[in-house]
Amino acid sequence: MTHFVPITDLAIETTGLTKRFGDHAAVDSVDLAVPRGAVYGFLGPNGSGKTTTIRMLLGLASATAGDIRVLGRDMPRHVADVLPRVGALVEGPAFYPFLSGAANLHRLDTANPHAPGGSRRSRVAAALESVGLTHAAGKKVHAYSLGMKQRLGLANALLSPRELLVLDEPTNGLDPQGTREVRHLIRSLADRGSTVFVSSHLLAEIEQICTHVAVMSTGRLVAQGTLDQLRRSGQSQVRLRTADVVDARRVLTALGLSPDPPNTAFHVGDRPYTDDDLITAVLRDGGVPPEAIVAALVRGNVRVRGFAVETPSLEDRFVALTGEGFDVAD
């Protein structure tokens, strides 16, 4: 597994977390390290074990093996102490369809023995406002769209101040404006000191809001670290455009860059000509710096029409780690 700098102040920590269904390991020896105050993106294809992991973190499913600590307490042993400090939206919200959005939140808050009754009305109003549902507070939930129900689920998670928010696909069903509002909400929660654990299939959203990322594949954790660490763990690439293809390849080879094989169209004498002026080569960490490559090309009388160093995107790293494609937009 690709793992980076160890973190000691953790909101979530698992060691060897495993969940088996018969002979099948849905979650296989997962070691999560979620720093306090982070916005932590939890990525993986369908069936990779994300939701099963979340259910075990919240005490909704028992682990076959391994240890879980949430907010410094062992789970599920201290579930009664931990859950009041955690807001969660898992596997979509469920509400009473013939009650209004506000009435649903009142009922849910009343069921929480740790919620102060004296401030219930104001807290429900503030939670609805934070997710843009004030205008629909009195509307019955059966008339809500999927996106509105998702917002109401978020409002429920925000009824009381939370040290940790666990959100499973929080932008599911939202239009672009709603998605932007949830993105802003998640950032504001992190700015106020909450840790936000976000499971999502939208890489573009994860890249915009998350400070840390983990990638699951077939039940195993294959990478974990900051967003920048995950990107840098891939191989950057030099992209060069020049009319002097042969000379450029000679210079790059001398620098130890191993340019990709040329697309040779035909030969005139011993000199190959190609129908493309683009050359690519892997740029390894600690190797020749880009400015030195350009200088060597100029010294070698290579006419440089274009030069760029491309760093792998989060999507590139995801595909490399899991071998699978991934949705990057709605």
Which CATH number do you get for residue 250? 3.30.70.100
Q: List pLDDT tens digits, range 85-109.
A: 999 988 766 899 999 999 999 999 8
Q: Are residues 84 and 116 in the same domain?
A: yes
**Are β-strands 195-199 and 39-43 bridged in parallel, bridged antiparallel, or unpaired?**
parallel
Q: Are residues 282 and 202 in the same domain?
A: no
Domain harbouring 218, CATH code? 3.40.50.300
* 145 found inside a domain: yes
Q: At which of 214, 232, 250 does a domain end?
A: 232
* 326 found inside a domain: no
In this model, does residue 256 exceed pLDDT 80?
yes
What does the alpha-carbon distance between residue 163 and residue 176 come to, in Å, rounded to a whole number?
28
Q: At which of 201, 232, 263 does a domain end?
A: 232
Q: List pLDDT tens digits, range 287-328.
A: 788 899 999 999 999 999 888 887 777 777 777 776 655 544
What does the alpha-carbon distance between residue 48 and residue 27 come to, in Å, rounded to a whole number?
8
Q: Are residues 116 and 251 in the same domain?
A: no
Q: List pLDDT tens digits, range 22-80.
A: 999 999 999 999 999 999 999 888 888 999 999 999 999 999 999 999 999 999 999 99
In this model, does residue 264 exceed pLDDT 70?
no
How many structural domains does the chain have?
2
Q: Which tokens hold the place of 104?
A: 């649903």
Q: Are residues 44 and 106 in the same domain?
A: yes
* 20 found inside a domain: yes
Q: Are residues 260 and 131 in the same domain?
A: no
Q: Are residues 224 and 269 in the same domain?
A: no
* 58 found inside a domain: yes
What does the alpha-carbon distance between residue 18 and residue 185 come to, in Å, rounded to a whole number?
32
What does the alpha-carbon distance between residue 114 and residue 108 come to, in Å, rounded to a whole number?
12
* 176 found inside a domain: yes
* 168 found inside a domain: yes
| Cβ-based neighbour number of residue 242 at 10 Å | 20
Q: Are residues 188 and 285 in the same domain?
A: no
* 319 found inside a domain: no
Q: Are residues 21 and 58 in the same domain?
A: yes
Q: Are residues 227 and 240 in the same domain?
A: no
Q: Which residues pair with 215 in a beta bridge?
A: 43, 223
Q: Are residues 180 and 298 in the same domain?
A: no
* 227 found inside a domain: yes
Quick check: helix, strand or coil at residue 65? strand
Q: At which of 174, 203, 232 does a domain end?
A: 232
The predicted structure's pLDDT at residue 323: 66
Q: List pLDDT tens digits, range 136-183.
A: 999 999 999 888 888 898 898 888 888 999 998 888 777 888 788 888
For tokens 């406002």, name the residue: 129
Q: Are residues 200 and 269 in the same domain?
A: no
Residues above pLDDT 90, as percent of the chain: 41
Alpha-carbon 151 to chain mean position: 20
Domain containing 267 equals 236-310
Alpha-carbon 99 to chain mean position: 34
Query: Judging by beta carbons within 10 Å of its beta carbon (0-12, 13-18, 19+), is residue 78 exposed, middle or buried?
Result: middle
Q: Are residues 147 and 245 in the same domain?
A: no
Average per-residue pLDDT in the chain? 84
For tokens 């990525």, name the residue: 43
